[in-house]
A and B are shown apart, each in its own frame.
With several copies, the nearest count.
Chain A
Amino acid sequence: MKIKVLAFAAFGGILGREREVELEEEASVKDLLDELASIVPGFREAAFEPSGILRDYVLLMVNRKRIDPERDLSRILVEGDELAIFPPLAGG
């Protein structure tokens, strides 16, 4: 299945502003992040602690709703879902 990935601020520089990722059916948000880490140079270091935990400053939305990285990384994605990844907000 195809999942759209949007990335902003520093993550836009690493991942590109928008890309599509091909994943197996039943893949989770965590699977998508791992796939990005394996195909995009620098993303693993930017997004994950050396221990493999997602860094504090990585914020996520699925279909434009915020998800909690503590709880929702196991969420199963479906064809057409959109993941957005960005650092803490800094507008104004």
Chain B
Amino acid sequence: MIEIGEEEISLDRMIQRVRRNEAGAVVSFLGTVRDDGILGMEVEAFRDPALSEMEAIRQEAMSRFSLTAAEVSHRTGRLAVGESILAIVCSAAHREEAFSGCRYILEELKARAPLWKKEISSDSGGHWVEGHGR
């Protein structure tokens, strides 16, 4: 499952969904809004291209690392400090593949999915996080 939405991410349900009898390892990554003296964050997506790119990345990870399952969920909209931004969950027969797959999806998503984050500061303004992805 690939999703982009405003609702709270249910990491627990994602983990339950990727569990398989033939998988011995499940690795998950949860990205949250870190308190850097900000009030929160605003996440924006170019939704359909972002979903396609995330699905392409998921498929690459599945075949490259022989994953048994993988899910990615990215939130958009206004998020408070501590809230979830992104969750990635991968299952595989062995731990190496599950770790590598999760890391791969995370790095590729940052580089390739059309998503942006604005840090909301106390002065009712904010600034867009400088992107590195192209």
Contacts and interface: CB of A to CB of B under 8 A. Distances in A.
Q: Do chains A and B touch in the complex (CB under 8 A)?
A: yes
Interface of A: 6, 8-10, 12, 57, 59, 61, 64, 84, 86-92
A81 to B, nearest CB: 15
Contacts, number: 77
A90 B49 contact: no
Contacts of A89: 110-116, 131-134
B114 A87 contact: no
Contacts of B114: 8, 61, 84, 86, 89, 91
Interface in B119-134: 128-134
17 contacts: A9-B116, A59-B134, A61-B49, A86-B116, A87-B130, A89-B113, A89-B115, A89-B116, A90-B131, A91-B45, A91-B74, A91-B110, A91-B115, A92-B85, A92-B109, A92-B110, A92-B113
